[in-house]
Structure 1
Amino acid sequence: MSSTNALTMDKPVPNSLLDTSTQGIIGKPLDRKEGPLKVSGAATYAAEYQIENLAYGVLVGAPFGKGKITGVDAEVARALPGVIDVVTDFEKFLATSAQGLAAKAPQGVESVQYFGELVAIVLAESFEAARDAAQQVVITFDAADDGRFDFEALKGDAEKPADGDIPAHFSQGNLDKAMADAAVTIDATFTTPSQNSAAMEPHASIATWDDTGMLTLHGSYQIPGNDAEQLAKALGVSKSKVRIVARYIGGGFGSKLGIAPESVAAALAAKALGRPVKAVMARQQVFEATVRRSNTEQRIRLGADANGKLTALGHDTIASNLPDDDYFEPTGQATHFLYAAENREINHDLVRLDWLVSGSMRAPGEAVGMLALEGAMDELAEKLGLDPIEFRKRNEPETDPETQVPHSSRELVRCMDVGAASFGWDKRNATPGTRREGEWLVGMGMAAAVRGNMLLPSEARVTLSATGRATVETDMTDIGTGSYTILGQIAGEVLGLPLDHVDVELGDTNFPTAAGSGGSFGAGSSGTSVYLAAEAIREKLAKAMGVDADAMTLKDGYAIADNRRVPLAELAGEGIVATGSIKPGKQEKETRQSSYGAHFAEVGVNAVTGEVRVRRMLGVFAAGRILNAKTARSQCLGGMTFGIGTALTEDLIHDPRNGKLVNRDLAEYHVPVNADVPQLEVEFLEERDIHANPMHAKGIGELGISGAGAAIANAVYNATGIRVRDYPLTLDKILDGLPEL
């Protein structure tokens, strides 16, 4: 028997089955179901599928910035031993603007938009032969005379883009007058560089066509349902003819939200050859030809009265993107609602550059926007003579300060208070540069954390078999976040099954379409669809037992009611199948939904060298119901580590002559390594959000990075008295301001 349970979140759901169920696996710090497979090498990633008659492809990038290809000389490459062919299909290669918003490349079919854009694939019987031949492909070109490669020189040409998820420009009240009338003000500019997601697994695809014209792509992609649609459009085929399989993904952080060129190249080559083709990007190509977080220049204007009440709040950002792509880094996303202020302006402008496309990277908006906002809040607090926490408390909004809708739940103040007590904030010396331990100047800093909560349409199918085992099927992915385990916990809790009695099948577009992984919406969206499917099965079990579902307890594979204890296998008959479907509704507009937290950091700055060392960090977070304490903590630790990199090391450098990425690998693009990351502590506050979904859970994956870097920068100021507004805080920006020994 089969049924469907669909829900639109038009109303709050105050009663959750997760509060009344008795299996006791929700919220527990359970190990990942797929963990043993990953540590033993048995989990199969995109490039690891063993497929017969496989050809190997190596991609070739354009050796110039904006311009036009005039020829591709591949004769030497084709003549090498083991080489099969060199495929160039400019129209389809260049129509794939990885994760960009433009429908296709705007220039002519042979035009290149940025240095390193992928334009050819060399095919061979072995990877080594293909790699060797790729070095012999000669591309001739005419570089454009009007290439736009220098952000600093062109930022005066910034223009207003089309509105995105938030308006590009927003104004309320009179900011200029409020700034003029304010007792205390800050007007400061912060800059952040381009950044790369630097996921461990490079982008990879294996493409196979069958005799019916069906393409199966084993790829490393975060949202298979949407990615299949993108790939079909790029190839000019029906979406029904594209299947994507992405069972394990070695990190994405936004870089794998949309398809990247290697998927199109592999599919085109496989079609031309009539055999499967594998294409794996080299690390340098991942940097050059997938997606970056935009660099930003942010002006923050804050004005407050003598009591520390904000009266003016301005956040103006200049970011960059390709000429025909309107995506902008939404740095003011949190600024819209984090603090109260009657007079507000939040603007985003774009400089059109012939650089690699910019798009979403972990916590798009908040990750770099809060570096500026929370730094400026720290500065203004000092000017007012207020503790940074007290200053934030005085500007806590009762409702959304722009729309006046209520917060679905908001625990920022409690996060700050709990964090301050745990971290020993009362021991912080408010006078910068006064605590010293040998050569090291020591300081503390804090910052708020916030990430908007999203619910996206999502479906899942749950089957309770005749043997009493449950199977979850959805094309939701696991990018290292723990989806296999969390979705199994939800199904097991609602159905009264131990986790080892639940099988979870993910990452295949043959399964029902989920929201996918990204934006911290994965667990809430796909998890709710699993919850609803399991709820429908629960109703069927109650009917089979002849009782009311509310009067029935499910635990350890048994249904208990009316003094009876019946195995689920007996009630399931030949099996019960149910589909759960969730989509956002009125609650999205009627409440302001966000997860909150507070970051605390202690740093040491070497008084001789200017070296910054993070000594300890604490993050306190409130994100609704925590579904798995271990995987949630892991997500926050990862986010805080991202914050260390954002604050201190990560800087993707563009050559202003041609847009080429100078540091295009992990040797020179410096992400934090073990020596840079101290013991990080995470605390979760008990919270439920009845407006978010029936599970009362909210997003957490990106909360950990939001504000983390600002807490470190604020700590550096407290340690040294040196305020660096140009991220990252490398020692060259600190040395000149250090006190004489």
Structure 2
Amino acid sequence: MTQTEVASPPRSEAKELSVGKPIDRVDGTAKTTGTARFSAEYPYPDLAHAALVHATVARGRITAIDTADASAVEGVLAVLTHENAPALKPALSPSPLNLSSMVSGTSLDYLNTDEVHWNGQPVAVVVAETLDAARHAALLVRVTYDQLPATVDFAAEEKNATPVKGDLISPGEEKKGDAEAALAAAPVSVDLRFTTPPYHHNAIEPHATTAAWDGDRLTVHDATQSIDWVRKHLALRFGVPVAGVRVIAPYVGGGFGGKGSVWAGTILAAMAARVTGRPVRMVLTRESIYHTVGGRTPSAQRVALGADADGRMTALIHTSVSRIGRIGGRPEPVTAASGHLYDAATILLQQNIVELDLLPNTFMRAPGESIGTFALEAAVDELAGELGLDPIELRMRNEPAKNPLDGKDFSNRMLREAYALGAEKFGWSRRTPQPGSMRDGRWLVGMGVASAYHPPVQLNANITVRLSVDGTVVVRCGFQEMGMGGATVQGQIAADALGVPLASVKVEYGDSELPIAPMAGGATQTASVATALLAACDKLKRSMLALARRSGESPLRGQRLDRLEARDGGLYQIGKPGVGEKYTDILGRAGRPSVDAAVGSDTGLGAVAGQVRFMTKFLRDRRRWVKAATGAHFCEVRVDPDTGEVRVSRWVGSFDVGTVINPKTASSQLRGGIVMGIGMAMSEQTLIDPRTGRIMNPSLSEYHVPVHADVPPIEIHYLNEPDPTMPLGLRGLGEVGITGVAAALANAVHHATGRRVRDLPITLDKLL
């Protein structure tokens, strides 16, 4: 059994709250009993099914496509190719000034061209009465190509990488002083190369879309973590008003970033439905997911560290090469964390990219930071060895008081305290420093540590809240729920803000007809929605005060105050707990069944104003301070000296993530990130044929994710100290759990065996 430290409410909070309690997820019963309905489970009359045909070359032109045999299969309704598919409108060029423009997985106009841009690109769609018929007929489509030279070998192209041009989201080069000169002069230094392979998401729910047209109105049930942006993208591509597209996704079976963009399956399901005049469902096979949904980029990284004899860093250099596709993808911020974690006297960070004829990369849990912290934190461990220092001591000697690159303040940073708590819980003091010096019977035992780091972002969210005379509260916001407990924590926040029991709060979400919310990704959603929710609750309470003042019988009449505090199911004057009135009495006396409050607007000037507010806050925050979720990973491994088998035997994670709204859901998120990081370090890799660009292991039988036997007991601990710059003091924590995990594991393996693995994954052959 895993163990979890339950977070207490912040010390400043005296009253009994829902926030801070380990409350079960409100959708838990629906999911465990099977009543939760996912995107491939919505019934439609005359529902048809679709399957993809994939290109078998990396680059070229289609010279012929024979669909006769496929069309002859009983039940086949249509075979769509570039020769008969309706035209799509082009996707917008990605721009941080319009975040929805960044949702397109590729810039390809699917089935609108005879060009092939990657091995696996959809070149036809078969629509049939049954799924079996569609998939069988898809195997019968014959495509011939004029094959063109393709560049698909990342390792071979690394030397041709070019520097990334920075933008508002991801910087290019960052520097402080002359790091190369400082490295050359350092009494102690390491200069190391690390590589990570491509990775793919493997969510429990496959990518699936059910699409139905009614004239020019489109309804889509989609496994997406970006409801609003999917709606806007589909409206653009099919040339219909945004208001005419509805995207429904109340339950999503995991995403990890792979469901954050719009991919071929979603667009082609909607296209097939429009062509056939029937509702169409497309459930991608695992192989189709690998061929049409981008994964994490591979990387080659250099980390060079210089230090004086006391372990003070004099130089920190971190450079990277990653890849994008020729028709999409963004550079991953591989070096991002390295500018914030250590107080080095000089710093040089540089990201480089190569463009390949492969499916573009996309978001994958903590994009950039997860693979970047592997290299950085493993290099710090090696420097500690060169200095003869304990790895934690080296980190503490270089823990910055201000942001190392530019001297900005941290909004709140307690990484020292996280290390102290984690070391105590883990028993770090029992570690002997010499590699190979600890044993348990025949097993070599190793202990490793690494820092976790991920910055939160707040985006705009629109929301409505209704408080009714019967004591119920309805919160409406179109955010996404992928299993992380979003509806639960927003319900907890609303309950406390309005002074009602959690059981009285209903949260409606997962539908584009609700007020819009940002995508679930980048550790943004909880804080973004909470900001709007708290503002809406304040507006509602001001409305209640206005109602009370108009009543001659209210004890609040004539009181000099401009807002109310909700407490114990009633509304009370701030500073005078004895002067107050139950909200049910206020509504009843006013003859009002309910009162509503809204924040934000989805259309017109309100939407423009929201974008302006976002950009203003984003730029202001960037100028004022640096904020991030941080933590310390402690890993224990056992290694068989004869076979090289590695078993992760214990894990402790200690985190500074601000206020913990719900320790149960938060621990689940962080534990899941650690499990994903274990897979990244030990077994996962997407194998791409360097000659053809074909993915060679597009299935869960050959792409090895961690199974239950690979996962040790994982303890999660929190400092639970509020960040004063964030709503309720919370920071996003969905991404930070995976950062640093691969390094902690690699460091533990080195401590156990004396062998340093710098090229992931850590497989048997690298330890023998």
Does residue 597 in structure 1 map to residue 631 in structure 2?
yes
Does residue 412 in structure 1 map to residue 412 in structure 2?
no
Equivalent in the alignment of 2:507:
504
Equivalent in the alignment of 1:198:
202
* Counterpart-to-counterpart distance in 1, 2:471 and 2:704: 50
Asked if 2 retains the 8 angstrom alpha-carbon contact of 1:474 and 1:514, the reply is yes
**Superposition map of 1:622-641 within 5 A:** 622-641=656-675
* Counterpart-to-counterpart distance in 1, 2:564 and 2:323: 58
Offset at residue 71 of structure 1 (A):
2.3
Equivalent in the alignment of 1:575:
594
Asked if 2 retains the 8 angstrom alpha-carbon contact of 1:591 and 1:691, the reply is no
The secondary structure found in structure 2 opposite 1:377 is helix
1:621 to 1:481, Cα distance in 2 relative to 1, 3 A: same
1:733 to 1:215, Cα distance in 2 relative to 1, 3 A: same
1:390-448 per-residue CA deviation (whole Å, 9 max, x = no partner) reads 10111111111112110000011111111111111011111001112232110100001
Does residue 210 in structure 1 map to residue 223 in structure 2?
no
Asked if 2 retains the 8 angstrom alpha-carbon contact of 1:294 and 1:321, the reply is yes
1:417 to 1:93, Cα distance in 2 relative to 1, 3 A: farther
1:27-62 per-residue CA deviation (whole Å, 9 max, x = no partner) reads 100000010000111111111111122111112211
Q: What TM-score comes out, normalization by structure 1 length?
A: 0.93
Equivalent in the alignment of 1:158:
161
1:191-224 per-residue CA deviation (whole Å, 9 max, x = no partner) reads 000001111111111111113x111111011111
Asked if 2 retains the 8 angstrom alpha-carbon contact of 1:94 and 1:109, the reply is no
Offset at residue 638 of structure 1 (A):
0.1
Does residue 294 in structure 1 map to residue 297 in structure 2?
yes
* Counterpart-to-counterpart distance in 1, 2:214 and 2:181: 67
Structure 2 unmatched runs, 5+: 1-8, 93-101, 550-555, 601-612
Offset at residue 226 of structure 1 (A):
1.3
* CA RMSD, 1 decimal: 2.2
The secondary structure found in structure 1 opposite 2:137 is helix
Offset at residue 675 of structure 1 (A):
0.3
Asked if 2 retains the 8 angstrom alpha-carbon contact of 1:21 and 1:494, the reply is no
Letter in 2 for 1:439: R
Equivalent in the alignment of 1:554:
567
**Superposition map of 1:166-181 within 5 A:** 166-181=170-185
The secondary structure found in structure 1 opposite 2:491 is helix
The answer to which of 249-258 and 342-351 deviates more is 342-351
1:224 to 1:255, Cα distance in 2 relative to 1, 3 A: same
Offset at residue 278 of structure 1 (A):
0.7
Asked if 2 retains the 8 angstrom alpha-carbon contact of 1:100 and 1:359, the reply is no
1:205 to 1:388, Cα distance in 2 relative to 1, 3 A: same
1:326 to 1:50, Cα distance in 2 relative to 1, 3 A: closer
Offset at residue 467 of structure 1 (A):
2.4
* Counterpart-to-counterpart distance in 2, 1:20 and 1:716: 43
Equivalent in the alignment of 2:603:
none
Offset at residue 316 of structure 1 (A):
0.8
Equivalent in the alignment of 2:725:
691
Does residue 532 in structure 1 map to residue 535 in structure 2?
yes
Structure 1 unmatched runs, 5+: 1-15, 736-741
Equivalent in the alignment of 2:376:
373
1:462 to 1:370, Cα distance in 2 relative to 1, 3 A: same
The secondary structure found in structure 1 opposite 2:593 is coil
Equivalent in the alignment of 2:449:
446
Does residue 566 in structure 1 map to residue 569 in structure 2?
no
Offset at residue 240 of structure 1 (A):
2.6
Offset at residue 324 of structure 1 (A):
4.4
* Counterpart-to-counterpart distance in 1, 2:572 and 2:155: 67
* Counterpart-to-counterpart distance in 2, 1:520 and 1:80: 47
* Counterpart-to-counterpart distance in 1, 2:11 and 2:399: 31
Equivalent in the alignment of 1:541:
544
Asked if 2 retains the 8 angstrom alpha-carbon contact of 1:23 and 1:496, the reply is no
* Counterpart-to-counterpart distance in 1, 2:541 and 2:580: 16
Equivalent in the alignment of 1:702:
735
Offset at residue 549 of structure 1 (A):
6.3
Offset at residue 588 of structure 1 (A):
3.7
**Superposition map of 1:288-327 within 5 A:** 288-325=291-328, 327=330
1:234-265 per-residue CA deviation (whole Å, 9 max, x = no partner) reads 22333232221111100000001111111111
Asked if 2 retains the 8 angstrom alpha-carbon contact of 1:465 and 1:569, the reply is no
1:343-378 per-residue CA deviation (whole Å, 9 max, x = no partner) reads 211111112111221121000111110000000000
The answer to which of 572-581 and 464-473 deviates more is 572-581
1:272 to 1:707, Cα distance in 2 relative to 1, 3 A: same
Asked if 2 retains the 8 angstrom alpha-carbon contact of 1:599 and 1:711, the reply is yes
Which one of 366, 389, 392 corresponds to residue 392 of structure 2? 389
Number of residues of Structure 1 aligned to a counterpart in Structure 2: 717
Does residue 141 in structure 1 map to residue 145 in structure 2?
yes
Equivalent in the alignment of 2:476:
473
1:723 to 1:95, Cα distance in 2 relative to 1, 3 A: farther
Equivalent in the alignment of 1:733:
766
Offset at residue 691 of structure 1 (A):
1.1
* Counterpart-to-counterpart distance in 2, 1:367 and 1:103: 26
* Counterpart-to-counterpart distance in 2, 1:606 and 1:543: 72
Equivalent in the alignment of 1:9:
none
Asked if 2 retains the 8 angstrom alpha-carbon contact of 1:21 and 1:496, the reply is no
The secondary structure found in structure 2 opposite 1:393 is helix
Equivalent in the alignment of 1:48:
41
Letter in 1 for 2:191: D
1:156-192 per-residue CA deviation (whole Å, 9 max, x = no partner) reads 1111233242222223211121011111111000000
The answer to which of 90-99 and 618-627 deviates more is 90-99
Asked if 1 retains the 8 angstrom alpha-carbon contact of 2:81 and 2:111, the reply is no
Does residue 35 in structure 1 map to residue 37 in structure 2?
no
1:273 to 1:21, Cα distance in 2 relative to 1, 3 A: farther
Q: What's the % identity of the aligned pairs?
A: 38
